[in-house]
Structure 1
Amino acid sequence: MAQRRLRRREVIDAAIAFINEHGIQSLTMRRLGASLGVEAMALYRHVPSRDELIAAAVGEVVDGLFDDELMQHEPKSWEEYLQCVAHALRNLALSQPKMFPLLVTQPPDAPWLRPPLRSIRWVEHFLSSLKRYDFSDDRAVACYKAFTSFILGDLLLQVSALDTDATPAPERVDAGQAEEDLEDFPTVSRLRDKLAENHADREFSDGLDELIERIRTTLDG
């Protein structure tokens, strides 16, 4: 195979594109090299291993949040800031559903950081932004923890509903088997259509509003 000169950023961007198209389970150095028109060994000049390549790809995606248009203007309040960060993260999760779970499973920059805002650069931005709105140190950290817990839980649920291969998909249950499984569970059977309804947009907005209101209450207390 003819070789060509690569740059580290090109390799990382290619890995992100590969994962978004094929999923993390399919990523190997050989396959990524083939997609770039080089042998796998050419990639090792830029990243020492597949694990370090994935870590670099995750770091690039997290840093890319700063490029979201929602992060390009100065919020007028801490509430607006949280809204911007939350919706930028949701844009990322829904546009890259095969990459997003890696923000959770890969080790963060430090053990005391929480996904998905898992980089020191991002946490510095988050905490210093809240401090500009007169948050105390304790309340800024508490807000970071509450915000990341809400975002992580909600967006992982949304991503899992998109049927990605970030994790092995369960076997499908046929309709007849599903009917039989529900025979002994009359309440679930009666409410299953409601359970199947998708109100992700509304639930995300409502949950974020409730979180902001809880934070506001702590500030007023």
Structure 2
Amino acid sequence: MEEQLDADAEVVAGPDLPSARVPLSEERIVEAALSFIDGHGLAGLTMRRLGQRLGVEAMSLYRYVPGREAMLDLVVQSMIDQLQEDAEVLRRPENGWQDFVQRLAHGVRRVALMHPRAFPLVASRPPEAPWLRPPLRNLDWVETFLAGLHQEGFDDVTCAGAYRAFTSFLLGHLLLEVANHGADVGPLDVLEDDGDPSRDGLERYPTVLRLREPLSQDHAAVEFEESLEELLERMALMLSETSSG
């Protein structure tokens, strides 16, 4: 029991523990939850530990959030809201739809890399509407994306196709990228490299083993740019087909 208490103290302790004199609020609880996940991962987050981090009893948290699941929904919303504060992200196209889409994509990536351990929640949290897709499923940002494309000449069909292509590209790439930054993404989770190839069972795969070093190099930023360019070309083709039709 004493060892467990010591372990809990280690998890919740930190130099930035909030003052007990600061009033408790939903915003403060969500900020503390996101900070906890950033530092320790999602698995260890409990209402009791979050209460300890905030200097209150766990029951006090339920006055502001109904429970852990609702709190995680608020954490997702908090991450998506950071796009509002990103000066590089536009709410409507100003220099063409490609610039608009690129800025939004990079904005979402910045959020993912700022909170890699929390970002997988964007894929697992219930959406605001069943037809929306992560990671761009917040109604405000879906509206921004679709309205921006409409402004640039996309019709309803091509807007929907572009939305599906854009979200698939973002989610697939960014989940893989945050996995390399320590995020737990289930089947996508990565194993620690112990530095001894002979213990990996790779001796039966000489080509894989020979290419282990270049295959393990991090080219995420370049790959993101290349994939984004391919996506933009695909969206341009959709638009040209609509115009010609």
**TM-score by structure 2 length?**
0.83
Contact 2:135 2:171 in 1 (8 A): yes
Whole-angstrom distance in 2 between the partners of 1:33 and 1:148: 35
When the two chains are superposed, the root-mean-square deviation of aligned CA atoms in Å is 2.1
Aligned to 1:199, which of 219, 231, 235?
A: 219
Whole-angstrom distance in 2 between the partners of 1:197 and 1:170: 14
The residue that corresponds to 2:165 in the other structure is 146
The residue that corresponds to 2:54 in the other structure is 36
Name which structure has the greater RCO, CA cutoff 8 Å, separation 6+: 1
Cα deviation digits, residues 91-142 of structure 1 (max 9, x gap)? 0111110111000111111111100012111111111111111110111111
The residue that corresponds to 1:130 in the other structure is 149
Q: Which runs of 5+ in 2 are unaligned?
A: 1-19
Whole-angstrom distance in 2 between the partners of 1:171 and 1:24: 17
Distance 1:170 1:27, change over 3 A: same
The residue that corresponds to 2:203 in the other structure is 183
The residue that corresponds to 2:34 in the other structure is 16
Contact 2:90 2:100 in 1 (8 A): no
Residue 95 (1) aligns with residue 95 (2): no
The runs of at least 4 consecutive aligned structure 1 residues that moved more than 6 Å come to: none
**In the comparison of the two structures, how many residue pairs are matched?**
220
The residue that corresponds to 1:55 in the other structure is 73
Distance 1:96 1:4, change over 3 A: closer
Q: Which runs of 5+ in 1 are unaligned?
A: none
Q: State the Cα distance separating 1:82 from its structure 2 match.
A: 0.6
The residue that corresponds to 2:126 in the other structure is 107
**TM-score by structure 1 length?**
0.91
Residue 45 (1) aligns with residue 76 (2): no
The residue that corresponds to 2:13 in the other structure is none
Distance 1:171 1:130, change over 3 A: closer
The share of aligned pairs that are identical, in percent, is 43
Residue 220 (1) aligns with residue 240 (2): yes
